Amino acid sequence: MKVGFIGLGIMGRPMAGHLIAGGHEVHLMSRSGVPQELVDAGGIPHTTPREVAAAAEVIITMLPDTPDVEKVLFGENGVAEGLTAGKLVIDMSSIAPLATKEFAARIGALGCGYLDAPVSGGEVGAKAGTLTIMVGGSEEAFARAKPLFELMGKNITLIGPNGDGQTAKVANQIIVALTIEAVAEGLLFAARAGADPAKVREALMGGFAGSKILEVHGLRMIERTFEPGFRIELHQKDLGLALDGARQMGLSLPNTATAQELFNACRAHGGAGWDHSAMVRALEFLAGTRVAGEEG
């Protein structure tokens, strides 16, 4: 296919690379410029979203937040200006479900298809091509896009109509944040009690408490490696979507609110760019105990 890919950051760069390696003609654009490595691999650089949309039959966006997606799709020289009937727009960003439904309707009015397809798996999953992809949209559009998704991910699910993919991603981010908090508390308890947190983590990995968060982020907490795979400021954005949606629905999410406050505490100490596993630092301050020694 002729594929457009807009947004080539930590996640988008390797995702676009998989599409190029898969043999597709990939048209690229990023506000920070197209990485030379993708051009060398065969990617075709452009300077505006409109150019990408005009050159491609399927256009993928991977951007930080709802306003960014709206600007790229509908702003001056945006994707909408380069579309013709029959093209497909796929937003793989993590943004507001209600805004997603609006964007889908506006793209649909131009005679084009729309999928919301946010991902989970972080930088590691993006590089390995093993992302979980949660999709909202029609079965027809999903079938058309699935060969592309299969180059970027492994667990690919059509949840329902437009907006449902983003709803699933918000649910994912709630569970991830609360599990990070639980792992941090467990390891802090072990450290204060005098047990070796590394050995405790090793033991728990074989039991019912075992999880990907304990495996990956528990190790980060012990080794003090908080360079971001997924930044706190981005997880804050996602929990903000969860809490805003909960208010609109009259739903109480008390532990999600607590996790957001712990992220706020990290951010107050300059941690907006830390990996989200660094939530443990806020809990360490409250506990007066560290999971492990000096920072790595």
Q: Which residues are designated catalytic?
A: 169
> Beta strands of the chain (E only): which ranges?
2-6, 25-29, 44-45, 58-61, 88-91, 113-116, 119-120, 131-136, 153-160
Q: Of the candidates 221, 228, 223, 227, which has an alpha carbon nearest to the alpha carbon of residue 187? A: 221
H helix or E strand, kind and range, residue 197? helix 197-204
Between CA 244 and CA 105 the distance in angstroms is 22
Rounded distance between C-alpha atoms, residue 39 and residue 106, angstroms: 32
Cα within 13 Å of Cα(293), Cβ side: 3
Three-class SS state of 158: strand
Q: Report yes or no: 174 and 242 within 8 Å, Cβ to Cβ.
A: yes
User: How many C-beta neighbours within 10 Å does residue 117 have?
Assistant: 31
| Residue pair 245/66 in contact by the 8 Å Cβ criterion | no
Partners of 5 in the β-ladder: 28, 60
Q: Which of 169, 151, 177, 167 is nearest to 58 (CA)?
A: 151
> Is residue 128 within 8 Å of residue 99, measured between CB atoms?
no
Q: Indicate the length of the chain as a whole number.
A: 296
Burial class (CB in 10 A: 0-12, 13-18, 19+), 274: buried
